[in-house]
Every structure is written in C-alpha cells, then in structure tokens.
A and B are shown apart, each in its own frame.
Chain A
C-alpha cells in the first residue's frame, strides 16, 4: 500500500518537474530567438562587413593602438590637471546649487509642499536624465568653448544625484533630536543646524565623494564637444591618426581615475 502511493506520487512529481522544465526551455528559446532576430536586424544587416574586413585586418587596426607616445607625455600634464580641476570645481558648484534643491526636495523639510516638492523633483530628474555630453553642448552654446562650460556641465549633471540621495537621507533621519530641539523652543533654522545637519552631513559628504569620483571620469570626455580637458587632446590625437598617442591619453585618464579612487577610499575611511 505504502509503495503504491509513493509510486503514484513519484510519477506526479516527475511529470510536474518535466513539464516545468519544458516550459522553462520554451521560454528561454523564445527569448534567444528574439535576441537573435534583433541581432540580425540591427547588427548583421546594418554593418558594412566589407569595411571591417577579415579578423586579421581587425587585428591589424587594433595593433595600431599598441604603444605609447612618449613625446606626448609632457604636454599631457596641463590637460590632466585641467580635467581634474573641472571635476573638482564642477562637483563643488553642483553641491552649492544642490542646497535649495535638497531643501525643497525632502518631504519633511520642504517649505511649501504642493509647489516646491514637485519643482525639486523635476530638477533632479532633468539633471540626472541628460547625458553629460548633452549638458556640455548646451553650456558650450551658452558660455562658449572652454573649461567653464565643462564645469557647468559637470555641476548640472551631478546636481540631480547628490540632491536625490541627500533628500532621501534627510527623509530618513531620526526624528527624536528634531523633537528635542523643538521642545526647547528652537526655530526652524536651529532645528536644521542642530538636529538635521549633524545627522546627514556625513552621508552627504560620502555621496559627494562618490559623485566626485564619477565626475573625473565624465570630465575626461567633455573635451569632445569643446569643453576642455583631456578629451580635447584625445580628439586631436584621433584626428591626426596618432594611435599610440590615443593609447597614451587613455592611460593618463586611467591613472587620473585611479588616483581619484584611492583618494576617495581614504577620504571615506577618514570620515568614518
């Protein structure tokens, strides 16, 4: 009797597992088919395979990039510093422009909810949605070519992320100190300085350092649209077909980013 029920159950279980596996298999193959189709449509049909040529030709064009242009290195110093400074000042200005947005955008401190809160949210979304290249294009047309446009682009791009994360940090504070300051008769400004800021300042600093690190990476390409820094040198090397020079510039960018990562690692450690 016991054996019979087990056998019955066994067939059920096995059948169910097989069925599940077939459904999974069908689903996976459907997905793969879909992907293959779009690869066919977008890549295989679209690409001029004659232009790409054989694998060895590709290998040959890749091999152009092998090597370092040592003569370029001294002239890289200025643009590297410039890129670094654009990232630093851009982050700083972004932070300054952030302050009203954070204030308006945190639900528990926003001064007039129906108007200021959506306003801040729109600003955050806009800033984060637009790619740094597009921001740079906008600012280049407003203030002309040069580092200044780059700084503004970086500031505009980082505003959204810093503001969003900081506003969330303010929304998640511990309300007890606020209560305490209110209980002893503090006004809004005092509540802000004594109850809210001490709680969120370390968080905001962490966010800013994180964003600064990303901004170094961003500022390295702004030169492509005329906003100064290493990107400009990169483009010039590209246009003069100096491929080892291109590699050198990329290495310089990597070095700069590595420095940024190390600095941000220690800065965050020092804060905690």
Chain B
C-alpha cells in the first residue's frame, strides 16, 4: 500500500478552485515599487562610483589602518592639563546649550502643540515652522554660522547647541503635550483660566515626568554634539581633534577619538540610569 493512499482525502466538490499568492493589480503595483527602489539603489551605486567589491575588503583595510597608523593611541597627550580643561569646557557647553534650548523648547512645545496652543491660526504654524527649522539644520551648520558671525570661542558653541536642543526637544515636548488628557485642561478653561494658567495647571502636572526624561535625553545628545562642534572652531574637544588631524598626528587623534568615545559612553550610561530613575519615580 502506498503512503499516499494511506492519508484519507478530504471530500471536496469537483469545482476547480484556484489560488495564487499573486493577486493581479495589487501585487503588480507592489512589485513595481519594489523594482523601482531596487533600480534607484543600483543607479545610486553607479552614480556615486562605489566600489562594491571593496566593501568586504574594507574591513581588513580599516583594521590595517587602525593597527599601523593609529596604534598605540597617545594617552599621555590626553591626560594633559590643557586637554582636560577642554573636556570640562565641552561638558559646560553641552549643559548650558541644553539648558537654554530646553527653556525655549518648553515654550515652543506649548505653542506648537495643537491642543493647547494659544492661537491655532497664527502661533501654532509659526511655532511648528521654527521647530522644524531648528531641527533640520544640522548642529555643525549652526556652529559654522555662529562662528562666522561671533568668532571662535565657547559662545558660538553654546548657541549652536541651543538651536539644536530647541529643535530636538521642542518636537518631543509638543508630541508629549498633544497626548495629554484634555479633561484637566477643560476644567481650567471652564473656570476662566488664562492660557498661561491652562498650561501651568492643566498641562505641566501631566507632562512633568515625561519632560524630565526628554530633558535628560536632550542633554545626552547635546553632549554628543558638543564633542565635535569644536571642529569648526566653536570650542571644546573638537578643536583638538581638528588640529591633530590637520597635523597628521594620527596617534594623538586616536587618543582623542578614544576619549570622546569613552566620555560619550559614560554620559549615555548616566543618562540611561537617570531616565530609569525618573520613570520609576512616576
């Protein structure tokens, strides 16, 4: 007895049914989209002259370069007093920039939140536009612009980080405000509260915890940015990086990069720890 006949067959009508995974118009459209995306990528690779065959070999080469030119990192150079001062400058720059940015971002988030914005026709779109503008322009570009206008130093760095933080935190704040419970807002409105009172009594108590988390995150991201804005002359560790790259001091560059990585990882751990603390305190 063959195995096939051992399985009892289901009784079915003798109508010839057809099933296909591919259903005519929809799957055709989907495949067309997929195909054009693929085509775009192929074209891009060609347009940018990317040596695809080198991608795999690149990792070996990267290791080679790192081992020969960047090893050993010049640790003595970064324990130097001047460099440590630059590190402290970087921390201060990040914290001041994030602080100013957050102060503006709270107001901007309030204005750019559709549900509590003081004026939906005028203030809301303007605030949205400002938030988008601040966020779209990269912090390095802000740094360059401020350096051109104000000269070298920490001030342009702080201002660049401020602009960056406004855009970054403003959007998150606005989204947070838009998801609050409107009942409390309605209660304050019903008793004749002003827009400011609605914000302070109806909105702030609900978003305080979330705002603190966002603020810590913003500080963390601002610090990451602060390590490199010096590259264009806005103060801090970035300036050392730039100088050593220019002078092809590869071992010193390696040490600086290493210190940046270590500092950022430390700040990330602190920020993650603080954020879990805050969200647990809810």
Contact = CB atoms under 8 A, between A and B. Distances in A.
Q: Do A and B contact each other directly (Cβ–Cβ < 8 Å)? A: yes
Interface of A: 35, 38-39, 41-43, 46-48, 51-52, 58, 61-62, 65, 81-82, 85-86, 88-89, 92-93, 125-126, 128-131, 133-134, 137-139, 141-143, 146-148, 151-152, 217-218, 220-221, 224-225, 228, 234, 238, 246, 250, 253-254, 257-258
B68 to A, nearest CB: 11
A185 B260 CA distance: 50
Interface in B148-204: 148-155, 158
Contact of B44 (A48, A89, A228): A89
6 contacts: A38-B92, A43-B96, A43-B155, A48-B152, A81-B47, A225-B231
Nearest to A155: B55
B6 interface: no
Interface residues of B, number: 58
Contacts of A86: 48
A26 B59 CA distance: 57
A224 B41 contact: no
B84 interface: no
Contact of A46 (B136, B228, B235): B235
A41 B92 contact: yes
A239 B23 CA distance: 57
B48 A129 contact: no
Contacts of B40: 88
Contacts of B66: 142
Nearest to A122: B265
A42 B150 CA distance: 15
B89 interface: yes
A140 B268 CA distance: 26
B62 A142 contact: yes
Nearest to A65: B145
Interface string B189-226: 00000000000000000000000000000000000110
B262 to A, nearest CB: 9
Contact of B224 (A131, A139, A217): A131
B268 A129 contact: yes
Interface in B39-76: 40-41, 44-45, 47-51, 54-55, 58, 61-62, 65-66, 69
Given A88-B41, A133-B228, A142-B65, A48 B151 contact: yes
Contacts of A61: 148-149
B50 A221 contact: no
Contacts of A81: 47
B278 interface: no
A129 B265 contact: yes
Contacts of B145: 65, 246
Contacts of A39: 96
B265 A257 contact: no
Contacts of A134: 227-228, 241, 257, 260
A42 B65 contact: no
Nearest to A228: B48
B150 A129 contact: no
Interface of B: 40-41, 44-45, 47-51, 54-55, 58, 61-62, 65-66, 69, 89, 92-93, 95-96, 99, 133, 135-138, 140-141, 144-145, 148-155, 158, 224-225, 227-228, 231-232, 235, 241, 245, 250, 253, 257, 260-261, 264-265, 268
A253 B61 contact: no
A217 B140 CA distance: 11
Given A86-B48, A138-B257, 6 more contacts: A47-B151, A131-B264, A141-B250, A143-B61, A225-B231, A254-B137
B257 A38 contact: no
Nearest to B147: A238
Contact of A152 (B58, B92, B141): B58
Given A129-B268, A137-B245, A89 B45 contact: yes
Contact of A58 (B92, B133, B141, B149): B149
Contacts of A224: 140, 231-232
Nearest to A225: B231
Contacts of B260: 130-131, 134
Contact of B155 (A46, A137, A139, A250): A46
Contact of A234 (B41, B141, B150, B261): B141
Nearest to A217: B138
Contacts of A151: 48, 50
Across chains A and B, which 5 residue pairs bring their CB atoms closest together, nearest first?
A: A85-B44, A129-B264, A51-B151, A147-B48, A142-B62
